Structure 1
Amino acid sequence: MNGSVPDLVARLAAVSPDRPAVRDGQGRITYRELVEGAGRWETALRRRGVVSGDTVAVCLPRAAVTLQAVLGIWRTGAVLVPLDPGHPVARWQFVLADCRARAVVCTEDLASRLRKACGSTPERGRTDILAAESIDVDYASPAWSATAPVDPDSPAYVLYTSGSTGVPKGVRVRHGALAHYVGCAGQMYAGASGPAPWHSPLAFDATVTSLWVPLAHGGEVWPIPGSDPLSGLEGLAQLLAAPVDIGILKITPTHLEALANWLGPEGTPAAITSLVIGGEALRADQVRPWLARTTQIVNEYGPTESTVGVVVASVKPEHVARGVIPIGRPFPGTEILLRDRNGAVPGPGEPGELCVAGPQLADGYLNRPELTEERFPPHPLRPGERMYCTGDLAMTGRDGELHYAGRIDEQIKFRGQRIEPGEIETVMCGHPEIGQAAVVVREDRLVAYVVPRQGGAAPEPQQLTEHLADLLPPALVPQQFLTVRELPVTPNGKLDRNALRDREP
C-alpha cells in the first residue's frame, strides 16, 4: 500500500462518507465524522504550536475520540507516542522525558496525574495538556483536503518496549512501514473490511491490526470500554457470547485461551471471519476450540521493530491434529534471513536467529544509537540496507514454512507482552531490603525469586507488589514472590534460570 494510513482514511471518507467507521458507547460515527473530528484535533494541536516532527503523547481509553485524536496528530506531521492509562506515573515520566513530548492528549480525570509526570521531566520546553472533553466545544473542523499528504518516510509512532538494562526503549516506526503492514494484512485477512473489536491498549503494537487494518479497508472498529486490558478482555468475552458477526479479531494466544475458558465448552456463538493470533508462540490446544466458528485462522509473527507482523501462517486442521503450528512465510516484500552463531546460513531443520529486512523495518530506537547499530546491522548482501536481528530462533520445516524455536537470550513473552526480566530485576533490587532478584515464567504466572540483603529479611509479597506497581506497568509485576538464600548459577557464573524454573514453588 502506497502513501499513509491517514491519507487512505481520508480517501475512504471522500468516497463513502456515510459508511460506519466506529461504534462505541456513545453511538456510531461515520467515516466523514471520523475525519471531521480528526480535523478538530489537528486545529487544536496546531494552535498549541505543534508542528511536523514534534511528539504528541496520547493517554486515552478505547473510544472513537482516541482514533480522531491520533489521525489529527498525524495530519500535523507529529509523531504519536501512546501512553497506557493503566501504567504508573513513573513510567509516564520516563516516556515523556525520553520522547520530549510537545503535548499530551488525555481525559480530564487523568490530566492532573499527567501534569505531575510532565513536571518531573528534564527541562525541554513546555508540554501542553489537552483534555479530550474540550476539543469538540472549542474548535471547528477545517477542510481535510487543506492539509498536505503525510510523508511516508516520516515517523508515525514510537512504541516503548521492555529493556534488558532496566530502561525501556522506544521503537520508531515510519508511516510507510505502517502502511505496508496494513496493506498486506488487508490483502491476506478476509475479514479486514468487517467489524473489528478493539480490546487491547493503544500502546500495544498488536492493536494496530484491530484499528488501522479495518479503517484502511472500509471496516468498522468496535471499542470495548475500559482502560484496563483485562476489562477489555472481559468485554470481548461478553461480545463473543452473542451471535454477532466479527470481521477481524486480533488476540494473543494466552488471551485466546482465557476467552475459551470464559465461554465454556460450547464455545462462541459469534461468527469470526479472520482470527489473527500473535504476540507469543501458539499451541494447538489454544486454537482447537475456535476452528468450528472461524473462517480463517492465522498465526502472525513479528516484533515491534518490524511493524506488527512480517511472517504469517494459515492454521489448518491438520496443523492442530499434528500439534505443530508453523509461523509461516514472509509478508510480500519482506525478506527473512536465518543465521547461526557464526553468521552462516543453518542447514535444513537447524535453528538460526531470525533476521528481518524489507519495507516494514523500523527506523531504530529513539535516542539509543548504539543499540540501534547493534540490533539493526547492515544487510549482508545489499550495501546500504539494514536488517533487524530479532533474537528469536526459527527453522525451516519440511513443509517450507518457518517454525519458531525459542530465544537466544533471556527475553520472554508473557500474555502477549515482550518482557525483559532484567527490567523487573533492576527495579526490584532498588528496594532497600533486596540484595538480588530473578524473574522467570512458571506455567501461567511471573514468579520472582528474592535474596534479602545480608542480615535482613525479605519484604512481604504485598509490599513488593506495591513497590513494583508504582514503577512498572501491570504486565511486569510478578504474581508470586519466593524468598531464597541464593540464586543458582551455571558453571560459568551466570544466573541459571532453568534451575529456578525446576524448583518447587
Structure 2
Amino acid sequence: MSASSNSRQGNPSRTEGHVTGFSGAVLNLIGDRLAAHPDAAAINCGDAQALSYAELWQRAEAIADGLAGVGVRPGHVVPVMLPRSTDTVAALLGIWMAGAVYVPLDPAFPAERIEFILRDCGSAVLLTHSDLASTFAAAVPDVIALDAPLEPTDRSARPNSLRPAADDLAYTIYTSGSTGSPKGVQVTHRSLLNFTLHLADLLHLGDRDVFTSVVSPAFDVSLIDYLVPLLSGARISVIPQDSVNDAERLGRLIAANGATVMQATPVTWQILRESDWRPPGLFTALSGGEALPADLATWIRDRCAKGINLYGPTEATIYVSTQDLSQVDLSDVHTVPLGEPIAGVAFYVVTENGTLAPFDTPGELCISGVALARGYVNRPGEMERAFVPNPFRLGERMYRTGDLVKRRNSGALEFLGRIDHQVKVRGHRIELGEVEATLSSHPAVRQSVIVAREYGDLDKRLVAYVRPMARSREQRWLVLAGELREFAAGRLPGYMVPSSFV
C-alpha cells in the first residue's frame, strides 16, 4: 500500500487510547471494585440467587487454585465449555487469576469442531460440566467439572500476587476460517482493557444498573456483558438459554430483573420489536454483530432512553466504533453508519491502489492502534495477509477488515458490503469457504458453492449449490440433500448449516 493520500479525505479518524503504557488488566480493576463493595450483587442467572462481588471472586479464586493444582501456569491456554451460568464469569476471572488464557467454547458446537479447537489451541485442561467431561476426556490431559466439588489444592501453587500484564494474552476466540477450519484470534489484556474502559466511560453504569446478558459466551461480544458491569459496580443478569430467543419470556425476565441495559444483535431487537416489547424504565440498548437497519434503529431510539450501534471485527478486540442513534439522521440512510473509532484506534478507507479514498469513494476499511489482536493461532500465512505494516503511520500494524465502506461528505462512515466471501448471518461471522470445504469433503460431492441469499432485512440464509459425483434422479437427490444437511450439522455450528440445498 502507498502512503500517499487524497486531500479530500484529510487525516484518518483517530483518537488516543486509555491505556498506553499501562501495565495492568481488567482483572486488577475488578479487584478494586470488589474491595470497595464486596457485598453488592454481582451476577445472577435466571431466578437463581445472585452472587455478591465477594462470592464471585471467591469462586474465581477456587477455580484458579484448581487450575494451578493441575499444572496450569501463566500463558497456558484454558478452554471453557459451559452452559449459560454464573460459573461462566467465575471461570473467566479464575483463568486470569492463574495468569492463563481464556478460550470459550459453545457446548452446542459439533464434537468434531470442539476437538479441533482443543488440539489447535494446545490446551492441557478443559473447564466444563460433568455431563460433558467424559465426551472430551480423551482430547485433553485434564478435565475439571465445575458442577462437582472442586478438589482441595495447595494454594502455594498459585501466588496471590499473580496478575496478568498488559501484553499477556487475555483470550483466544475461534471464528469461521476461510481454509475450511475455524481460526483462533489472540487478544491481549492491553487491547481488551482499552475497549472495556471506553465502553464503561460511554455507558456510565452504577451500582443500581442491571446488565442483561443474552449473547453466547462462545463469542467475544459476551465480554462486554461481563466486564463492563463488573468494572462499574453493576449487576449482570444472565438469561437462561431457553429464554434467549423467546421474546415473551425474555421481556418478562428483563422486567423482573429490573434491567437497565442490554446488548444484542439486530435480530434479537427485531424479535422484541415484533412482540411490542417495552422497556421497564430508562433503558440503554446496544446493537452489534451486523448492520443495523435504519427502521429498526428508529424503533430502538424511540422506545429506549439511549441506543448505541457498535461495529468491529474480532481481530480488533470486539468493537472499535460506536454510533449514538440520537446523533444520526436515520431518514437518510438504509443502515446505521459505523460511527467514530474508539480511543486508541485509527480508521483508514483505502482504495485498491493503496491510497486514502476521497469522500464518497468506496474503499476497504483498515484499522490500526491498540485494539489490534496479536494475530492468529497457527496461521502465519493468513496473519501476513490480514495484518500488514501501516503505510500511513510508520512503526504500526494495520488490519485489513475486508469491509467495503465509504466516508460521506457529512463525515459518516457507511458500510457497503464485503470485498471477500465472508458474510454475517444473525450476527454470526461466516467464511463461506469453510462451509464449501466441509460439504466438498463428502464423498458424494464433486463441488459445492455457498451463497448468502437475502429474503428481507435481517433474514439472510445460506444456500448450498452442489455438484454431485454422479448424476442422480430427483429421489436420489432428495436423499443426498438430507445426508449433506446431516453431514454439515455434524461438523459445523447450526448457524453455518445451509438452509437449503440445490
* TM-score when normalising by structure 1: 0.88
- Equivalent pair of 2:69/2:157 in contact (CA under 8 Å): no
Aligned to 2:356: 345
Aligned to 1:115: 137
Q: Work out the CA distance in 1 between the residues paired with 2:50 and 2:156.
A: 22
The partner residue of 2:219 within 186, 198, 204 is 204
- Equivalent pair of 2:205/2:232 in contact (CA under 8 Å): no
Closer/same/farther in 2, CA of residues 374 and 27 from structure 1, 3 Å limit: same
Aligned to 1:247: 260
Q: Work out the CA distance in 2 between the residues paired with 1:55 and 1:233.
A: 36
Closer/same/farther in 2, CA of residues 289 and 132 from structure 1, 3 Å limit: same
Identical counterparts, % of pairs: 36
- Equivalent pair of 1:196/1:248 in contact (CA under 8 Å): yes
Q: Work out the CA distance in 2 between the residues paired with 1:89 and 1:218.
A: 37
Q: Work out the CA distance in 2 between the residues paired with 1:248 and 1:225.
A: 17
The yes-or-no answer on 1:96 pairing with 2:118 is yes
- Equivalent pair of 1:201/1:229 in contact (CA under 8 Å): no
Q: Letter of the 1:434 partner, please give it.
A: V
Q: Letter of the 1:375 partner, please give it.
A: A
Q: Work out the CA distance in 1 between the residues paired with 2:304 and 2:256.
A: 13
Q: Letter of the 2:75 partner, please give it.
A: G
Aligned to 1:439: 450
Per-residue deviation, 1:368: 1.1
Per-residue deviation, 1:317: 7.8
C-alpha root-mean-square deviation of aligned residues, in Å? 2.3
Per-residue deviation, 1:381: 3.1
Q: Work out the CA distance in 2 between the residues paired with 1:403 and 1:238.
A: 36
Listed as ranges, the gaps of 5+ residues in structure 2 are 1-17
Q: Letter of the 1:293 partner, please give it.
A: R
Per-residue deviation, 1:233: 7.0
Closer/same/farther in 2, CA of residues 188 and 174 from structure 1, 3 Å limit: same
The yes-or-no answer on 1:188 pairing with 2:188 is no
- Equivalent pair of 1:35/1:144 in contact (CA under 8 Å): no
Aligned to 2:230: 215
- Equivalent pair of 1:44/1:135 in contact (CA under 8 Å): no
Listed as ranges, the gaps of 5+ residues in structure 1 are 119-125, 483-505
Q: Work out the CA distance in 1 between the residues paired with 2:44 and 2:431.
A: 36
Per-residue deviation, 1:460: 4.1
Aligned to 2:396: 385
The yes-or-no answer on 1:9 pairing with 2:23 is no
Q: Work out the CA distance in 2 between the residues paired with 1:85 and 1:480.
A: 25
User: Greater relative contact order (Cα 8 A, min sep 6): structure 1 or 2?
Assistant: 2
Aligned to 1:29: 51
Q: Work out the CA distance in 1 between the residues paired with 2:261 and 2:224.
A: 8
Closer/same/farther in 2, CA of residues 416 and 460 from structure 1, 3 Å limit: same
Q: Work out the CA distance in 1 between the residues paired with 2:403 and 2:75.
A: 32
Aligned to 2:105: 83
- Equivalent pair of 1:298/1:314 in contact (CA under 8 Å): yes
- Equivalent pair of 1:192/1:248 in contact (CA under 8 Å): no
1:315-351 deviation digits (Å, cap 9, x = unpaired) = 1286333344211111122111111000011111111
1:59-81 deviation digits (Å, cap 9, x = unpaired) = 01111112111111111111111
The partner residue of 2:284 within 246, 271, 274 is 274
The yes-or-no answer on 1:152 pairing with 2:152 is no
The partner residue of 1:449 within 452, 465, 475 is 465
Closer/same/farther in 2, CA of residues 18 and 286 from structure 1, 3 Å limit: same
Q: Work out the CA distance in 2 between the residues paired with 1:317 and 1:383.
A: 34
* TM-score when normalising by structure 2: 0.88
Q: Work out the CA distance in 1 between the residues paired with 2:125 and 2:390.
A: 37
Per-residue deviation, 1:128: 0.6
- Equivalent pair of 1:190/1:274 in contact (CA under 8 Å): no
Q: Work out the CA distance in 2 between the residues paired with 1:140 and 1:236.
A: 43
Q: Work out the CA distance in 2 between the residues paired with 1:71 and 1:92.
A: 22
- Equivalent pair of 1:447/1:481 in contact (CA under 8 Å): yes
Aligned to 2:4: none
1:237-281 deviation digits (Å, cap 9, x = unpaired) = 4424x37643321111122212222x23xx324335321111111
- Equivalent pair of 1:312/1:330 in contact (CA under 8 Å): yes
State how 1:318-329 maps to structure 2 within 5 Å.
319-324=329-334, 325-329=336-340
Per-residue deviation, 1:289: 2.6
Per-residue deviation, 1:134: 2.7
Per-residue deviation, 1:5: 1.3
Q: Work out the CA distance in 1 between the residues paired with 2:59 and 2:303.
A: 36
The yes-or-no answer on 1:465 pairing with 2:485 is yes
Q: For structure 1, which segment, 215-224 or 81-90, has the greater mean C-alpha deviation from structure 2 after superposition?
A: 215-224
The yes-or-no answer on 1:161 pairing with 2:191 is no
Closer/same/farther in 2, CA of residues 478 and 237 from structure 1, 3 Å limit: farther
1:406-459 deviation digits (Å, cap 9, x = unpaired) = 111111111001101111111111122222222222222222222222334534
Per-residue deviation, 1:398: 2.3
- Equivalent pair of 2:317/2:372 in contact (CA under 8 Å): yes
The yes-or-no answer on 1:299 pairing with 2:309 is yes
Q: For structure 1, which segment, 128-137 or 6-15, has the greater mean C-alpha deviation from structure 2 after superposition?
A: 128-137
The partner residue of 2:432 within 421, 427, 452 is 421
The yes-or-no answer on 1:174 pairing with 2:188 is yes
Q: Work out the CA distance in 2 between the residues paired with 1:86 and 1:13.
A: 33
Aligned to 1:315: 325
Per-residue deviation, 1:87: 0.3
Closer/same/farther in 2, CA of residues 220 and 58 from structure 1, 3 Å limit: same
- 3-state SS of the aligned residue for 2:463? strand
Per-residue deviation, 1:386: 0.5
Per-residue deviation, 1:402: 1.3
Q: Work out the CA distance in 2 between the residues paired with 1:434 and 1:235.
A: 42
Closer/same/farther in 2, CA of residues 243 and 106 from structure 1, 3 Å limit: closer
Closer/same/farther in 2, CA of residues 232 and 137 from structure 1, 3 Å limit: farther
Q: Work out the CA distance in 2 between the residues paired with 1:58 and 1:434.
A: 35
- Equivalent pair of 1:284/1:319 in contact (CA under 8 Å): no
The yes-or-no answer on 1:290 pairing with 2:304 is no
Q: Work out the CA distance in 1 between the residues paired with 2:114 and 2:246.
A: 21
- 3-state SS of the aligned residue for 1:465? helix
Closer/same/farther in 2, CA of residues 244 and 202 from structure 1, 3 Å limit: closer
- Equivalent pair of 2:448/2:466 in contact (CA under 8 Å): yes
Q: Work out the CA distance in 2 between the residues paired with 1:470 and 1:78.
A: 30
Per-residue deviation, 1:149: 2.7
Aligned to 2:82: 60
Aligned to 1:43: 65
- Equivalent pair of 1:4/1:152 in contact (CA under 8 Å): yes
Q: Work out the CA distance in 1 between the residues paired with 2:193 and 2:418.
A: 29
Aligned to 2:239: 224
- 3-state SS of the aligned residue for 1:332? coil
- 3-state SS of the aligned residue for 2:434? helix
- Equivalent pair of 2:310/2:319 in contact (CA under 8 Å): yes
Per-residue deviation, 1:150: 1.6
